[in-house]
Amino acid sequence: YATAIEDGAKPDDIILDTPVSYGGWAPHDYENNFKGAMTLTAALADSRNVPAVKLAARFGIRNVIAMAHRFGVSENIPAYLPIALGAAGITLEEQVASYSVFPNDGVRVAPRYIRRVTNPDGITLWEDPPAIRQVISQRTARTMVQMLEAVTSYGTAAEASQLNHPVAGKTGTTSNFTDAWFLGFTPSVTCGVWVGYDNEQSLGDKETGARAALPIWMTLMKQAIQGHEDEKFPADEPRQNPYQPQWTTAITAPPAAPTLTAQNAAPRVIPANTASAAAPRPFDSRPLESRTTAPHSPQPSAKRTPPAFLRKKPPPVISPATADKLDSMIN
């Protein structure tokens, strides 16, 4: 989903939860049913397998794997579509570090066991500075936070809403109930829970991530949120429509009121991007897989005449004989 959002998809884009097959492999859901047209947010919140596979097919499973590696996953992941449903072994540490990118506004901080060593006087003897890098854009991160909040509001992890705190995350259940996952976060803490056996033994019928892992996560997070009652996700703050041109005043009021003239009777407003203000993109109600072009592909910009100083011809190059003569004169 992060790969799709980073590529321009929107949470309200429509995708079809309908039967599909790839080379004889037909993904299906836990309930063995299909829900038809639904938004990307609803598909993520309800943990629908078919939409996830369709997104991976549309935006490229290799791009999805590359995104996972950007998040810090070190596993060598083979490029086949079932990877979209979790068909790869990833450690709990890497999962937690990866999910922390979303509440961090797209920034990944590499996990550390020891931050620093100090002596009794508080002098630092050794320090391991954090490895920090931007993984995804802030806009993508905040969009993903909103979508993952839907999981804990009305999706497969709706029980987490009982915490009455800003939380977001994702449940996970592998085939035959051998693994149960919940990766979730508040604005200040990211936590992951995995339940399973080392020998890939089944946990038992219906032991999903929501049933086996989520309650453990909630027990821990009830303590972690103490003292953070007023925190909220940056994405929950008031935001302006990203498809609406941003405007800002180009003239600020001076200390003393100027004499009004025809030229300064009113402040002029210009787009924040002074080059141009993009018109809002019309809503495309067609399902993602029915579109002939990639969603939200940018329109080619109009050609502009370069400034005069860039159009000037470069000075002529001197001949080798002239260069030798100048060199001898200098010497």
Which pLDDT belongs to residue 321?
66
pTM, rounded to two decimals? 0.71
Which pLDDT belongs to residue 329?
63
Residue type (1 letter), 187: P
Average of per-residue pLDDT across 279-306:
44
Would you call 42 exposed, middle or buried from its count of C-beta atoms within 10 A (0-12, 13-18, 19+)?
Answer: buried
Inter-axis angle of helices 49-59 and 61-70, to 10 degrees? 90
Q: What is the DSSP letter of 301?
A: P
Residues 6+ apart with CB under 8 A from 321: none
Rounded Cα gap, residues 124 and 114, in angstroms: 13
Which pLDDT belongs to residue 286?
53
**DSSP 3-state assignment of 47?**
coil
Handedness of CA 7, 30, 209, 81 (dihedral sign): negative
Provide Rg for the chain, Cα atoms.
27
Q: Provide the pLDDT confidence category of residue 6 given band limits of 50, 70 and 90.
A: very high
Neighbours of 72 (CB within 10 A): 21
Residues 6+ apart with CB under 8 A from 177: 202, 203, 204, 205, 206, 207, 208
Q: Provide the pLDDT confidence category of residue 66 given band limits of 50, 70 and 90.
A: very high
Contact 179, 208 (CB under 8 A): no
pLDDT digits (tens, 9 = 90+) for 174-221: 888 999 999 999 999 999 999 999 888 999 999 999 999 999 999 999
Q: Provide the pLDDT confidence category of residue 331 given band limits of 50, 70 and 90.
A: low
Q: Provide the pLDDT confidence category of residue 29 given band limits of 50, 70 and 90.
A: confident
Half-sphere exposure of 114 (CA within 13 A, CB side): 7
Which pLDDT belongs to residue 111?
92
Which pLDDT belongs to residue 246?
33
Which pLDDT belongs to residue 267?
36
Which two three-digit tokens encode residue 288? 């993602």
Average of per-residue pLDDT across 133-144:
96
Which pLDDT belongs to residue 277?
34
Handedness of CA 286, 290, 291, 294 (dihedral sign): positive
Q: Provide the pLDDT confidence category of residue 89 given band limits of 50, 70 and 90.
A: confident
pLDDT digits (tens, 9 = 90+) for 259-287: 434 443 333 332 333 333 333 344 444 55
